[in-house]
């Protein structure tokens, strides 16, 4: 850093007792949080009717996806008619009489209550350690010049990155311990991926993804936070999708395709017969 | 109703992916990108790169090298492993940029600031 405009010599003790400990503590707290979340995670208690409700949606979705093409057309049409009429009648609904009533209060539903508790536990597991670390850092290490960023920042960041260091002329790239904390907070995700695996609960950013996933219908698992009226609407729209579904049997014209594999040219119009769907 | 011939052809011959295998592939990709953010960040710091431009270019270049290697490994046909072929090139590159910044700063600080 010889030719820099500003040269500050930092005590190696700051590195040994502040810089590296902050990072180490944040990594270990992340690991702890991951394991604590796994301990707190209660397996969702599904009931039979709720499972049936989501399985019916999943089945309809599979049927109208390309996976349904393994069925010959009569079998496909038969399943489509059956599922569409079942959706129309609402025979797979968890409680059919609740479909028309207004949005229920999630507090009264024990399943919804449990889901809310789960979410609260997760939020607490994230907020409490981060608050503790942040107050630890501001209590002990405020006013430390910790490290120099290798990239320049504009003067606007000075108030944020050098909080506690009242030096007007110091370059913005010298930052305090709190900014090192924030850099760790956002940057340690890849380390957690490496040591804890793909879907770890250490970073806390994944929780938001999970919350967005909750809104998506038919993810396979049962969703306790859903309102009964919503499910009825999903059944209605799934019925419409089913009626619009296109079908092409995967084995149509298979003779010509197999022959082509072995180098025999078949006239395309001869092998394929048009089938009305 | 009769579907148009070309549309139905693409529908029937579309790739079918197993969700488990897809998730595994995405996991492998994420693992590789995380390692890359860690290693290339440390390398940038040790080399003493300074400024947004140099660091950014270094990260993009190393990501590109990783993508090329993965592309080679898929046999130049990423469509066999990923639903969209551009996933191999862009997936998780931006997500790991913060990790790159962190290790860049750390290695730069350890090597060039604390003597």
ipTM of this predicted structure:
0.81
Residue B2: phi and psi, rounded to 5, are -110, 125
Quick one: closest CA in B to A200, which residue?
Answer: B27
More confidently predicted of A247 and B64? B64
Distance from CA of A11 to the nearest CA of B (A): 7
3-state secondary structure of A174: strand
Confidence grade of residue A120 (pLDDT, cut at 50, 70, 90) = confident
Say whether both A198 and A275 belong to one domain.
Answer: no
Say whether both A162 and A270 belong to one domain.
Answer: no
> Which is nearest to B92 in space by CA: A252, A205, A152?
A205
Say whether both A132 and A264 belong to one domain.
Answer: no
Say whether both A248 and A126 belong to one domain.
Answer: yes
Q: What is the dihedral of CA A124, A129, A135, A138, to 10 degrees?
A: -130
Distance from CA of A108 to the nearest CA of B (A): 36
Residue A6: phi and psi, rounded to 5, are -115, 130
**Which chain A residues contact residue B31 at CB under 8 A?**
193-194, 198
| pLDDT score, position B6 | 41
For A17-29, what is the mean pLDDT?
Answer: 92
**Which chain B residues contact residue A24 at CB under 8 A?**
none
Which of A62-66, A269-273, B62-66 shows the lowest per-residue confidence on average (mean pLDDT)? A269-273
> Residue A10 belongs to what domain range?
4-252
Say whether both A137 and A269 belong to one domain.
Answer: no
Helix axes A189-196, A20-40, angle to 10 degrees: 60
Say whether both A29 and A57 belong to one domain.
Answer: yes
Distance from CA of B38 to the nearest CA of A (A): 7
**Residues 210 through 229 of chain A touching chain B, CB cutoff 8 Å:** none
Look at B11 and A246 and tell me if their CB atoms are within 8 Å: yes
Q: How many domains would you assign to chain A?
A: 2
**Which chain B residues contact residue A183 at CB under 8 A?**
98, 101-102, 105
Say whether both A57 and A17 belong to one domain.
Answer: yes
Q: Is the pTM of this model over 0.80?
A: no
Say whether both A158 and A212 belong to one domain.
Answer: yes
Look at B98 and A189 and tell me if their CB atoms are within 8 Å: yes
Which of A23-37, A126-140, A226-240, B82-96 shows the lowest per-residue confidence on average (mean pLDDT)? A226-240
Say whether both A272 and A166 belong to one domain.
Answer: no
Say whether both A139 and A124 belong to one domain.
Answer: yes
Say whether both A239 and A272 belong to one domain.
Answer: no
Say whether both A128 and A259 belong to one domain.
Answer: no
Contact of A256 with chain B, judged by CB distance below 8 Å, is answered with no
């Amino acid at each position: 850093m010889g030719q820099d405009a500003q040269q500050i010599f930092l005590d190696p003790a700051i590195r040994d007792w502040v810089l590296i400990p902050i990072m180490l503590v944040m990594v270990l707290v992340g690991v702890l949080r991951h394991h604590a979340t796994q301990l707190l995670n209660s397996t969702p208690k599904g009931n039979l009717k709720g499972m049936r409700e989501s399985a019916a949606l999943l089945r309809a979705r599979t049927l109208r996806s390309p996976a349904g093409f393994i069925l010959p057309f009569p079998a496909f049409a038969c399943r489509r008619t059956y599922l569409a009429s079942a959706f129309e009648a609402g025979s797979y609904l968890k409680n059919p009489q609740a479909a028309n009533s207004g949005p229920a209060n999630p507090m009264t539903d024990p399943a919804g209550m449990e889901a809310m508790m789960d979410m609260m536990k997760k939020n607490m597991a994230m907020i409490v350690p981060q608050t503790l670390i942040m107050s630890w850092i501001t209590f002990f290490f405020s006013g430390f010049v910790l490290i120099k960023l290798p990239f320049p920042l504009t003067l606007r960041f000075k108030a944020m990155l050098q909080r506690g260091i009242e030096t007007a002329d110091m370059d913005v790239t010298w930052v305090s311990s709190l900014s090192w904390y924030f850099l760790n907070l956002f940057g340690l995700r890849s380390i957690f991926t490496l040591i804890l695996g793909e879907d770890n609960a250490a970073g806390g950013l994944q929780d938001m993804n999970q919350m967005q996933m909750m809104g998506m219908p038919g993810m396979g698992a049962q969703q306790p936070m859903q309102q009964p009226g919503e499910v009825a609407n999903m059944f209605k729209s799934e019925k419409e999708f089913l009626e619009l579904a296109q079908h092409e049997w995967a084995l149509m014209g298979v003779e010509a395709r197999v022959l082509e594999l072995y180098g025999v040219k078949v006239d395309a119009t001869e092998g394929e017969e048009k089938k009305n769907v | 109703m009769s579907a148009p011939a070309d549309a139905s052809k693409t529908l029937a011959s579309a790739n079918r992916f197993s969700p488990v295998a897809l998730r595994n592939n995405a996991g492998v990709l994420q693992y590789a990108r995380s390692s890359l953010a860690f290693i290339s960040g440390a390398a940038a710091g040790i080399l003493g790169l300074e400024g947004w431009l140099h660091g950014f270019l270094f990260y993009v270049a190393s990501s590109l090298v990783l993508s090329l290697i993965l592309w080679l490994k898929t046999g130049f046909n990423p469509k066999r492993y990923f639903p969209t072929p551009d996933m191999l090139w862009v997936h998780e590159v931006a997500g790991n940029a913060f990790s790159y910044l962190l290790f860049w700063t750390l290695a730069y600080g350890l090597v060039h600031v604390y003597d």
